[in-house]
Amino acid sequence: MKKTAFHPLRKLAIAGNPNRPLLGAKVYTPPLTAYLEEHGISPAAFQALTKKLNGQVVTPFDPPYASGRMDSDNAFNRYPLMIVYCTGSADVVEAVKFCNEQNLVVCMRAGGHSTEGYSVLDGRVLIDVSNIKGIFVDEAGMTSTVGAGVTWGEYNQELNAYGLHNPGGSCNSVGMAGYTMGGGYGYTSMRWGIACDSLIEVRMVTAAGEIVTANAKHNRELLWAHQGGTGGNFGIVVGMKYQLQKLKDVWPIQVNWPIDDAAKVLKTWQDKMTKTLQDLDLGLLGFLAIEEVPGKATGGESCTINRPYFCIRGIYSGASKEAAQAAMQPLLDIGTPSFPAGPLWQRQIPYAAANEHLLDNVEGIIPDTIKETKRCAYIERALSEQEFQKMVDYFKTSPNPYNIVSMEPYGGAINKVAPHETAFVHRNAYFDIFTDSFWMQDSEKAEAFRWLKDYYESPDMKGLWSNRYYQNYVNAEYKDWQQGYFGENYENLQKVKSHWDPDNRFRYPQSIEPAK
Ligand SMILES: Cc1cc2nc3c(=O)[nH]c(=O)nc-3n(C[C@H](O)[C@H](O)[C@H](O)COP(=O)(O)OP(=O)(O)OC[C@H]3O[C@@H](n4cnc5c(N)ncnc54)[C@H](O)[C@@H]3O)c2cc1C
């Protein structure tokens, strides 16, 4: 047992970790030519592809396939036909043309953190852009140009050296490409908006194998679609350009409350510090989680017990620790808060280090081979304390100590943007509430899914949520996902899809359908 991936309060593993075991291995019979022919692929065309690429093709006959076919969540166990690791646009163009000529369907991967594993699909050619790196900062112009394979950990570290920033995810191994295309929430989103609000240009390879650029002047609708329209739909993104903000040192914040205080804190947080938040330097996330604490067994002997608790983590990016304290005071006045790592806002540290610290400094352990499913819903009307209590009480029924409910507050810069201005429609929420449900053994999987589904859909809980879902936390079970993810923007997304991918070559279970 050791600290591991897949938990919002814990540091995550990198997708495609070479040490990852091969799960439920399929047996392929060599030679490669027979395998290619069996799948209708010309061996000569395959050979030609491998010669043209700067990158590499990995087939099931190559040892790196075993780890390469895995996404970040062990729950997905899929077998692409082959993986094409691209190092730049030219490789992506060659891979797309090869697939078109051989009539093969593609899937595409950047950071590999899709919560439904949509970046690796059975029987497809997986075009992987994780080796397209490079971060170029234009300090004078306050912009950055970033390869589609860059992760948030890499980007934060680089920007930190310049004292510059983009709102980004708390998990370092999440890919910037997938994250930004689905919106992108982070500690500084109340201050500077959802990450896609800072996206000013994308470069992608089309379904026809051409390189196009979209910005405010050229292909404006295509840029709009990448600002929340989700990945895997319009083309294969190879690079992004962002508007930057100035940010260097921040005060990290970490406060715990006993579970009995949670509903009161949540109610005050909603009423005073979401839509009406005045001090936008404050960026917080909330969690209902379970910690291991010393206790006594029924026979009186010492043991550890699992205790649910509520915590808030975040950063303050304003001028002084007094201001940080004042911004947090409405919450600190409630119940009996405690400070497991000390009153962190006494100490200012670089943003990247604060983010790292808030992920690392947690109680408990989580097994390395754990599997996960995730759901979310928006709160779009003000809830009463009793309604927040329902959220808390249901959480206490968690069948294991790993499950966690997370709260992303909305308001500030996020809600200032009109719903149709970008493809990211969710501009009127108080919170996005997302829940991670885990299981170890296959026999526990059905219970993990049932517990999670009931959190959002049981008669007692259903009334808490709006009918909207955050599209970066995709879940295959959402019935009306088109409206849930995109609302009134779905129709326009379909028009963009029809223009750039009329034959629907880029498709998966929840991809945008071309307009009829
Ligand atoms: C542990 C964890 C922590 C997370 N933390 C946050 C968070 O703090 N805030 C937040 O907003 N979200 C968060 N997310 C959600 C995350 O932003 C989304 O899952 C996002 O889509 C992941 O992007 P990726 O590039 O890592 O994933 P991938 O699985 O590689 O891609 C996601 C989707 O985009 C497509 N895609 C990938 N590359 C390209 C490309 N080059 N061009 C076009 N389409 C492409 C894929 O096919 C897939 O459909 C988290 C997810 C996990 C698993």
Beta carbon of 355 within 6 Å of any ligand 1 atom: no
pLDDT value of position 346: 76
- Work out the burial of residue 511: count CB atoms within 10 Å of its CB; fewer than 13 is exposed, 13-18 middle, 19 or more buried: middle
Burial class (CB in 10 A: 0-12, 13-18, 19+), 441: exposed
* 32-128 and 249-484 in the same fold: no
- The preferred substitution site among 84, 113, 223 for testing ligand 1, maximizing ligand atoms within 8 Å of CB, is 113
How many other CB atoms are found less than 10 A from the CB of residue 458? 12
Cα 273 vs. chain centroid, distance in angstroms?
24
Percentage of the chain lying above the pLDDT 70 cut = 92
User: How many Å lie between the centroid of ligand 1 and the Cα of residue 245?
Assistant: 23
CATH 3.40.50.80 fits 135-246+489-500, yes or no: no
The bridge status of strand 302-316 relative to strand 164-165 is unpaired
Strand partners, 138: 143
Best of 73, 93, 171, 372 for a ligand 1 pocket test (most atoms within 8 Å of beta carbon): 171
315 C-beta closer than 6 A to ligand 1: no
CATH second-level architecture of 249-484? 3-Layer(aba) Sandwich (3.40)
* Residue 184, phi-psi category: left (phi > 0), alpha (psi -120 to 50), beta (remainder): left
Q: For residue 398, how many C-alpha atoms fall within 13 Å in the half-sphere facing its CB?
A: 23
CATH number of 32-128: 3.30.43.10
Distance 174 CA to ligand 1 centre (A): 6
Neighbours of 477 (CB within 10 A): 13
CA-closest residue to ligand 1 atom 8: 169
User: What stretches in the chain show pLDDT beneath 50?
Assistant: 1-7, 9-26, 363
Contact 182 CB / ligand 1 (< 6 Å): yes
469 lines ligand 1 (CB under 6 A): no
pLDDT at 369: 82
Q: Is 48 helix (H, G, I), strand (E, B) or coil?
A: helix
The candidate with the shortest Cα–Cα distance to 99, out of 40, 56, 187, 29, is: 40
What is the reported pLDDT for 74?
A: 87
Q: What does the domain layout of the chain look like in residue ranges?
A: 32-128, 135-246+489-500, 249-484
Q: Is the CB of 150 under 6 A from ligand 1?
A: no
Ligand 1 atom nearest 170 alpha carbon: 8
Compute, in angstroms, the gap from residue 70 CA to the centroid of ligand 1. Answer: 14
CA–CA dist 441, 298 (Å, integer)? 28
Decide: residue 167, CB within 10 A, 0-12 exposed, 13-18 middle, 19+ buried. buried
Q: How close is the Cα of 176 to the center of ligand 1, in Å?
A: 7
112: left (phi over 0), alpha (psi -120 to 50) or beta: left
Contacts of 426 (CB under 8 A, 6+ apart): 183, 378, 410, 414, 419, 432, 468, 470, 487
| Distance of CA 342 from the midpoint of ligand 1 (Å) | 33
- pLDDT of the residue at 438: 94
Residue 459, both tokens: 């008669």
Contacts by 338-343, CB closer than 8 A, 24 or more apart: 338/255, 338/256, 338/257, 339/254, 339/255, 339/256, 340/254, 340/256, 341/254
Instruction: Report the C-alpha gap between 5 and 19 in whole angstroms.
Output: 14
The verdict on the CB of residue 406 being under 6 Å from ligand 1 is no
- The answer to whether the beta carbons of residues 186 and 284 sit under 8 Å apart is no
Q: Which of 114, 181, 287 to mutate to test the pocket of ligand 1 (most atoms within 8 A of CB)?
A: 114
Q: Is the CB of 113 under 6 A from ligand 1?
A: yes
Q: What does each C-alpha distance from 80 to 83, 208, 278, 339 come to in angstroms?
A: 7, 21, 49, 47
Return the pLDDT at 78: 96
Per-residue model confidence as pLDDT tens digits over 418-440: 999 999 999 999 999 999 999 99
What is the pLDDT, as a whole number, of residue 343? 64
Question: What residues have CB less than 8 Å from 374, skipping those under 6 apart?
Answer: 115, 434, 435, 436, 437, 452, 473, 475
| Separation between Cα atoms, residue 372 and residue 75, nearest integer Å | 6
Is 37 buried (19+), middle (13-18) or exposed (0-12) by CB count in 10 A?
exposed
Q: What angle do CA 459, 464, 466 make, to 5 degrees?
A: 110
Is the beta carbon of 376 within 6 A of some atom in ligand 1? no
Rounded to whole angstroms, how far apart are CA atoms 503 and 501?
6
Closest ligand 1 atom to the C-alpha of 151? Answer: 26
Rounded to whole angstroms, the Cα distance separating 45 from 42 reads 5
Angle, CA 512 vertex, CA 510 and CA 513 arms, to 5°: 105
Could you tell me the two tokens for 500?
Answer: 């750039």
Neighbouring residues of 465: CB distance < 8 A, sequence distance ≥ 6? 377, 378, 379, 433, 456
Indicate the residue type of 68: G
179 lines ligand 1 (CB under 6 A): yes
Question: In ligand 1, which atom is closest to the CA atom of 185?
Answer: 11
Test site for ligand 1: of 154, 366, 472, 481, most ligand atoms within 8 A of the Cβ? 472
